[in-house]
Amino acid sequence: VYRWEFEKDGEELVLDVDGPLILGDDRLVIEAALDGAGIAFLLENMANAAVEEGRLRWILADWCAPFPGVYLYYPSRRQMRPALRAFIEFFKHAG
C-alpha cells in the first residue's frame, strides 16, 4: 500500500509496506507508535518532540536521505484571491 524509500551511501532500498494499520495523519502515526503498534515513518520535525522527551527513538537514521523540501504550485494569475496570496507569502518567508 505504501512504499518506504531509504538511501545510504548511494544505495537505495525500497520496501513495500503492507500491514493491518494504515494512517494518513502524522499525529495518529505518532500515537500508534507510542502505543506499540510498530515503526513510524515520519518527517523528522513531526517526531522531534517525542524523541526529545524520550518517548520515541530514531532507528535507521543512517538510511534516511535529507528531505529536499516542499514545493508549492499555484496559478500565476493577477487576480489571485487574498487568502491564497497570504498563504503563498507566508510560506515564501517561512522557509
pTM, rounded to two decimals: 0.64
Instruction: Please tell me whether residue 91 adopts helix, strand or coil conformation.
Output: helix
Confidence of residue 1 (pLDDT cuts 50, 70, 90): low
Among 60-64, 73-77, 89-93, the range with the most confident prediction by mean pLDDT is 60-64
Question: Cα separation of 17 and 3, whole Å?
Answer: 6
